[in-house]
Structures are given as C-alpha cells and as structure tokens.
A and B are shown apart, each in its own frame.
Chain A
C-alpha cells in the first residue's frame, strides 16, 4: 500500500478555484438535485402540461405569475422554514412556528393600529418590531421549556403550538381579527414593489413588474441566516450540537445557551412572517398562521436537513421552499383541488423525510465501509 497521504500544509499562494467550483461550493453538491428538480418541475408545468391538453400551465412562466403569485406565496412559508432550519440543524424541532406567526400577526396589527402607548401609530417599523418581539417572546418560552425543563422538543412545541394559538385569540380584542385596512403604509409591505417599471431590454419593451417587498424581505432574512449559519461561531455551534450534543458540551460549547438562541431565531423570524401575514391579509387574525408549520418543516427536510440534526443548509431550504412553491403554484394554475393539494403536501413531507433518512443511511454505509478499509 502506498504511504497514505499526509495532510500537506497549504502551498503558498493557493490558486483561486474557478467560478464553477466556487458556485458549487456555495450551493453545495446535495443542492444540485434540488435545482434540477426545480427546473424539471418548472418545465413540466410550463411546457408539458399544455401538450397534454391541460389548461393553465402556459401562464407559469409569465412575469405576472412568477413575481406576483409565486414570489408572494413562498414568502411566509419560506421565512418559517429558514427559522426552522436553524432548530432542525441543531437537532431539535419547533412545530409551534405557525402559532407564533398567528400571535405575531395579532401583536403587529395592534401595534400598527394603536402605536406603542399611543405613540407612533401606523409606523411600519414599529409594526414589524412588534411582530418580532412577539416571536422572540415565544422563542424564549420554547427555548426555556426545552432546555431548563428538559422536555422533548416535539412535545414541548406541540404544547406551545396550542398555547400560542390560544394566546393570540386572548390578546385580539374580543378574539376577533384586528383590521388594518386604514394603514396603507403597513400594507405596502405586501403590495409594494421595488424597482418597478425598470425598463429592461430583455422584457421586450414591457415594464418590469418589480420585486415584491415581501420577497425582498424573505431573501434578506435568508441571506442573513445563511451568513449566520455558515460564517459565525454560533452557526458552527448549532451544527456541532445537532451532530453530537455530548461531544459539543465536552468541547466547552454552552449547549443550553445555543439551544435557547436557536429557538429565538426560529421565533423571531416567525414573528417577521406574522407581521407580513398581517400586511398580506390586512388584518391581525389569530388564525393567520395555522397549519403553516407543516409546509415549513417539509421544506427543511426536502432541503437536505438530517432528521437527527447536524446537517442542512439555508440554501437547501430556500431551494426546497421554491420547489414546494412551484408545486403549489402549478397545481393552482392547473386547477387541482385544494384537498388534493393537501394530500400531495402531506405525502411530500413523508417523502422528504424518507429521502433524508436514505441519505443518512447511505453516508453511514459509506462510513463503515471506509472505516473498515482505512
């Protein structure tokens, strides 16, 4: 056997890898399959269904559809999924994100209509901050239950799923939705466009419909979380704890604090989603976020996160969110009934987890094989 390669110290002035390499390194090899699936599904909806004589698919690639229906529809689930990614990578689960969004929706609506202690009613920033504050509160509760009381995360957040839902009704005056139709500044979050009317030559003279403000918020949050997870010591700790909490503790990582922080991220981001829900539906409705956790968790696992933790990326989650969005959008365009859509979504979650388990088993096999050989 040839002398096994010793790790060579990096040569002086390493060559910068080519663009393809860097792109692949950023996106990740696992995520390539998601991009391929996304492209395939898009092509199927746009080009194949018209050939099959099904109406609706031909509208898929229109700017109207892509920027209005699709981009807007993925924002809320996308935000929840990005926050959920942090928790799942950290080896835990947060199924209360839908309820947190409901709670934050009501709180943001109240802040926007009444201001804080009567001051600054109608402020967009305060409305958003109100939602975030509600989300951070909920995240703190989740984090403390899981770490201090040591309750299994699934049970803990199943409990708070119900509790936050109830709380949202409790603080909504008379348990009714808080209307914000009279707050055009705030609804701008949902209706506004950046860069609208930009004359782009590629559009053939037509006006560029602009990027929805909501979608921009989603991309910004995703970018920030990508950086947090990939480039900070906090992100590293999340991966370490998700991969092996005992080893992380024995290496001096403050496991409890990082776990609480994971729930704070998940809760805070769900709070942003709640505020956007208020803007989108023009009311702080305590049922705004119901059931959204299913889609969010589906997207995280579809995006390549390991069920046991320690593996998963924000990029993967965002791609998976787009995939689920395209699937929903396509089914809407093609006129698939709501009930069928729910069945499809449920099956997708099971499929996503099965895929994640298969990946795990495969890597374990690879590991035991190499371990036997090296």
Chain B
C-alpha cells in the first residue's frame, strides 16, 4: 500500500500557538480485521475554524467521526481538547465533554413536537409533570439565539419536519449544552439549496463563536464555499491539510483519488438512432404536458431543482406512479404502461434514486439482487437454472467491475458504489432499450463515480437510450447529449450538450415566478424556449 503524500503539504502543524478550543488529534490509529481504517492521523481542528474532511468511501472519515462520537475507541493515539485529554467510552462521554457529531439522519421522535424533541431526555419538570411553560421559554430562547425561529415552527411534530428541519433539531439539541467541537456528517445530502444556505449561515455563526467545526461531505463545491481548511484522507492516512482558498475542485479530486476525473468526460458519440422513448402531452398529478424524446444511443439529462418532478416523471413513465393523460411511445408504438412490469416487458428500465429503499434488497445476495429482473427467463418449468444464472450474472459483474468477495455476498455489505453497479448489472442483463438512471452516483465515492460515467458513455455508444436524472450539474453537463430542464412539473427548457452551461440550466430551472405567472394568468402555457 503506497500513499503518495502530497509534496506541497506543509509541515505537520505550524508553530503558531493554537487558539482556545482547539481539538488536537495525535497519531490516531484504528484497525479492523484486514483494514487499517485510520493510520496515525495527526492534525488540529482549531477553535473558530471550519475544517472539512474529504476522501473517498473507506478513506477513514466515518471511522474518525465514530471515534469523535465515542462509538469506537482508537487503537492508539490521543484526542486533546484545550490541553486536557479526551477519552470516550460512549457517545454520552463525548457529549459531556462538549463534542457532538451530527449524523445524516438524526433520531427524531415522530409524534412529539419540536420543543420536546430538542429537550428529549432532559425535559424540565414540575413534580411528576412536564413544565411546559418552562420548556417553551427555554426552546424559544435557544432558537432565538441561533436565528432558527423562522425556520423551525415549534408546533410541528417530529414526522412533519423536513430533512433540513430535522438537522436543525439535532443541532439545537447539541447547542443547548455547551458545544466545543461540532462534527457534521454529510449534512446537506437531502437539503434543498435554500436550506443549505441557511445551514451554512448557522455553521459560520457557530465558528465565529469559537466552536471547532468538523465538516464531512462529498460535495466539493460546498466545501470550497464553506470550509476554512480542507483535510484530505486516503486509505486511512492524512494526505494533506490546506487552506481551502488555495484549492480548486480538480485539485481536491486529484488528492482524493490520486488521479484526475476530467478524462471521464470525453464524449465522442455517433449520431443518435431512432426514437426509443417519447412522451406527448404527458400529464400526471405532478406534471403538465410533458413532451420528451429519447433516441437510441443518446444520453438525455433531466435537470432541475429538487422537487421539480424529475424522479416523478421517470416513475410515471415506468408505471410506478399513475399517468392521468397524454401518451407514451416506446420504439414508435403507443403503449399503455400501468405498472413497472409493463415497462420492463417493453424494454424500459429504471434504477431508482433511493437505492436502499427502492433499489436493492439489503439482506439478499449480490446474485439474487442482480438476477431479479431476468429471473423468469432463466427458469425451466419454474425452476431457476442456477448454473446459467450464475454465468450470466458473473459476466455482467465482471464487466461492471463489481468488487465483491463472491456473488453470494449479502449486497448490504458492499459499498454504495458496488451496490449501484449491481443495480446496473440487473438492468443490463435485461437488455433494455431505454434505461432511466435516477441519481446514479449519489452517495458513492469518486472512483466508482468515474467508472459509472465511463459505463454510461459505453452503453450509449452501444445504442442504449439513457435518461440521466442528476442534481449534480457537472455530471449532467459532462455526460448528456441533450438536457431537459424541469421546473414545477414542466419542461422549461431544452439544451443540447454543446450549448449547455451551468448558468443556462439554472436559468431554466429557476424560472419559477415567470412560468407560474404565465400559467396562472390563464394564457396558453408557453414553453420558455431556449
């Protein structure tokens, strides 16, 4: 194992005296069977700074967070906060010391309101009863202090909260006691842009209050916006720590993977073929008159903000959500798709966005997950021809470079990228005409991302029509031959891959007020043409 450490990396830590509230990490190591998850990592998280941790899956970020949270104990090395050593044997210890880790999906009690959620476990009491007045005062003061009043209505119940509000509740829980180190794990993965802005404002404010902030995310552009310094981990080792201002996106990627991602976006595709999928005036509960076409050998992107109706459009076409009007044509023939298996029979595939909930069966094997769609074709008298099944799936698994000890491995034990490749293998085995990929690179590491990009490119060259739904604009711009921009259930613009830029896509995606004004004034629903 060779980790080429960054030649430009500064000496371990500058000799400037650490500001108060600094978390010193020294020689931190943690091994699991067969893996050195952390390999003598040393660095400081200074009080009053935002330090971002970046790295591929398996680089050691999660292990580091779990050590900070008291879930894991390090094999060796020390944590020191303001000169006093920290030793956690449980998350409770970490909390008592003022170290809080906010995970992606915080525990929220569904049937209980915001105030009680924040003070769960420490509700003010008067005798045997909850002191409601006191609680409301406390919570109101907390929220006021951090400017949450507008965004976190106190009367909402746990299950009515948006993803962002849930994060805020968790943060408020952390802040009600004195927090000195706050770690956030992929906090923005399910937030809208506006919510991200709000969260960033809060994080900056906490930094200005002197809190040491650890920020873990895959989103490079966010990190560059928010972080003061960036620490890059690879294979459990610290590659470098540098000021964010000195880094560019490409450089971070290069540091993370040791190679560059740009060679991926290298399109040279033959002219697209016949139309394989077309909708005419498609309407549903989410859509108004959607017209799209997808040709064989073409990658067509659905861009737009979260909630624009892109996922729903794919699901309506796939028969998972009901269509209320308009027509769908597959390979030039009008078809009536009422359920996913109708779509599959016509050669339309869909790999959903939420892999764990909708894509895979976590507790079953790679083989069973991959052969699901074609299983019926692999049977004789209802008996699965297991030798044939194994050969077919092994072929696709090899082609897609699925990394797994064996085909019988439980898929839940693979990394996100490999799970996604199994989902792709499942669909490729079915030999579809059109494949709709919904956020195919969400939550997977950079290396696997590059492989999936290459694969999309390859498949298009072989004549598959591909619909790519993605919230990552570089992905859309880099891969798509044509882009439909959606907004509030309508196509607001269509761009060719050559003419598309981030600005143009965003202009269509956010044409909200314009289009709703037009629609509401009862005029014809004019397309905002490019």
- Residues of A near any B CB (own CB < 8 A): 1-2, 4-10, 231-234, 236-237, 239-240, 243-244, 246-254, 306, 310-311, 363, 366-367, 369-374
Interface segment among B193-201, B350-358, B473-481, B496-504: the answer is: B350-358
- What residue of chain A has the Cβ atom nearest to residue B344's Cβ? A252
- CB <8 Å contact, B363 and A310: yes
CB distance from A9 to the nearest CB of B (A): 6
Q: How far is the CB of A260 from chain B (nearest CB, A)?
A: 16
For this complex, 13 residue pairs linking A to B, each with C-beta atoms less than 8 Å apart, are A6-B402, A7-B404, A10-B391, A233-B378, A233-B379, A236-B372, A236-B375, A244-B361, A251-B426, A252-B344, A306-B363, A374-B403, A374-B415
Which of B37, B364, B426 has the most C-beta atoms of chain A within 10 angstroms of its own C-beta? B364
How far in angstroms is the closest Cβ of chain B from A307?
12
Name B407's contact: one of A1, A7, A251 (CB within 8 Å). Answer: A7
Using Cβ atoms and an 8 Å threshold, which residues of chain B touch A251? 340, 344, 372-373, 426
Chain B hits for A311, CB < 8 A: 363
| Contact pick for A247, options B1, B235, B360, B410, CB 8 Å | B360
Cβ B341 vs Cβ A9 within 8 A: no
Chain B: CB-nearest residue to A373: B35
| CB-contact partner of B376 in A10, A233, A246, A370, under 8 A | A233
Q: What residues of chain B lie closer than 8 Å to A373, measured between beta carbons?
A: 32, 35, 37, 58, 63
The answer for the CA separation of A237 and B373 in the assembled complex, in Å, is: 11
Q: Assess whether B361 is in contact with A310, with CB atoms less than 8 Å apart.
A: yes
Whether the pair A243, B364 counts as a contact (CB closer than 8 A) is yes
Q: Does A244 lie within 8 Å of B397, measured CB to CB?
A: no
Query: Are A10 and B340 touching (Cβ within 8 A)?
Result: no
User: B362 in the interface, Cβ–Cβ < 8 Å?
Assistant: yes
Say which residue of B340, B363, B397, B416 sits within 8 Å of A250 (CB atoms).
B340
Task: Select which of A239, A246, A369 is within 8 A of B364 by beta carbon.
Answer: A239
Nearest CB of chain A from residue B244's CB, rounded to whole Å: 25
A11 to chain B, nearest CB (A): 11
Specify which chain B residues have a CB less than 8 angstroms from the CB of A250 in the assembled complex. Answer: 318, 320, 340, 350, 352, 358-359
Chain A: CB-nearest residue to B342 = A252
Contact between A248 and B372, CB atoms less than 8 A apart? yes
B404 touches A246 (CB 8 A): no
Q: A329 vs B263: C-alpha distance in the bound complex, in angstroms?
A: 71
Q: Is B132's beta carbon under 8 Å from chain A?
A: no
Of the listed stretches B146-154, B382-390, B521-529, name the one at the interface; the rest are far from the partner chain: B382-390
What string of 1s and 0s marks CB contacts (under 8 Å) between B3-34 and chain A? 00000000000000000000000000000100
Q: Is the CB of A370 within 8 A of B359?
A: no
**Inter-chain contact A232/B379, CB cutoff 8 Å:** yes
Known: A7-B394, A7-B397, A9-B395. A231 touches B383 (CB 8 A): yes
Q: Which residues of B contact A234 (CB under 8 A)?
A: 382
Contact A10 B361 (CB under 8 A): no
The smallest beta-carbon distance between A315 and chain B, in angstroms, is 17
Which residues of chain B are within 8 angstroms of A372 by Cβ–Cβ distance? 37, 58, 62-63, 66
Interface centre among B350, B407, B415 (most CB of A within 10 A): B415
B268–chain A nearest beta-carbon distance, Å = 27
Q: Which residues of the other chain, A, contact B394 by a CB distance below 8 angstroms?
A: 7, 9-10
A332 to chain B, nearest CB (A): 38
Cβ-defined contact, B382 with A370, below 8 A: no
> Does B49 have its Cβ within 8 Å of any Cβ on chain A?
no
Give the docked Cα–Cα distance between A369 and B414 (Å).
10
Minimum Cβ distance to chain A for residue B327 (Å): 22
Q: Whole-angstrom distance from the CB of B336 to the nearest CB of chain A? A: 16
Instruction: Scan residues 404-429 of chain B and give those whose CB is less than 8 A from a CB of chain A.
Output: 404-407, 410, 412-416, 418, 426
Whether A240 pairs with B62 at a CB distance below 8 angstroms is no
B362-A367 in contact (CB<8A): yes
- Residues of chain A within 8 A (CB-CB) of B426 are 251
Quick check: A1 and B358 within 8 Å, CB to CB? no
Judge whether B379 and A239 touch: CB under 8 Å: no
* Residues in chain A near residue B58, CB distance under 8 A: 1, 372-374
Task: Tell me the nearest residue of chain A to B386, going by C-beta.
Answer: A231
Which B residues are CB-close (under 8 A) to A5?
Answer: 403, 405
Cα–Cα, bound, A240→B35 (Å): 32
Question: Does B401 interact with chain A (Cβ within 8 Å)?
Answer: yes
Give the complex CA separation of A2 and B372 in angstroms: 32
Cα(A240)–Cα(B361), bound, Å: 7
B52 to chain A, nearest CB (A): 19
Q: Tell me the smallest distance from the CB of B502 to a CB of chain A, in Å.
A: 31
Contacts of B401 in A (CB 8 A): 6
Minimum CB distance partner of B359 in chain A: A247
Q: Which positions 320-371 of chain B face chain A at CB distance < 8 Å?
A: 320, 339-341, 344-345, 350, 352, 357-364, 368
Contact in complex: B1, A246 (CB < 8 Å): no
Shortest distance between the CB of A98 and any CB in chain B (Å): 29
State the Cβ distance, B204 to closest chain A Cβ, in Å: 28
List of B residues within 8 angstroms of A237 by Cβ: 375
The answer on a CB contact under 8 Å between B404 and A363 is no
Q: Beyond A244-B362, A374-B58, is A233–B368 a contact (Cβ under 8 Å)?
A: no
Q: Which chain B positions have C-beta within 8 A of A247?
A: 357-361, 372
Residues on A with C-beta less than 8 A from B412 are 363, 367, 371
B66 surroundings in chain A (CB, below 8 A): 372
Any A CB within 8 A of the CB of B398:
yes
B residues near A254, Cβ cutoff 8 Å? 341
Shortest CB-to-CB span from B456 to chain A, Å, is 20
User: Contact between B384 and A252 (Cβ–Cβ < 8 Å)?
Assistant: no
Interface membership of B57, Cβ < 8 A: yes
* A252 partner residues in chain B, CB cutoff 8 A: 340-341, 344-345, 372-373
A240 to B1, Cβ gap below 8 A?
A: no
B53-76 interface bits toward A, Cβ cutoff 8 Å, 1 = contact, 0 = none: 000011000110010000000000
User: Which residue of chain A is the closest to B368 with respect to CB atoms?
Assistant: A236
Residue contact A243 to B362, C-beta cutoff 8 Å = yes
13 other A-B residue contacts (CB within 8 Å) besides A236-B372, A374-B418: A7-B394, A10-B390, A233-B383, A240-B361, A243-B362, A248-B361, A250-B358, A251-B344, A252-B372, A373-B35, A373-B58, A373-B63, A374-B403
What residue in chain A is nearest B35 (Cβ atoms)? Answer: A373
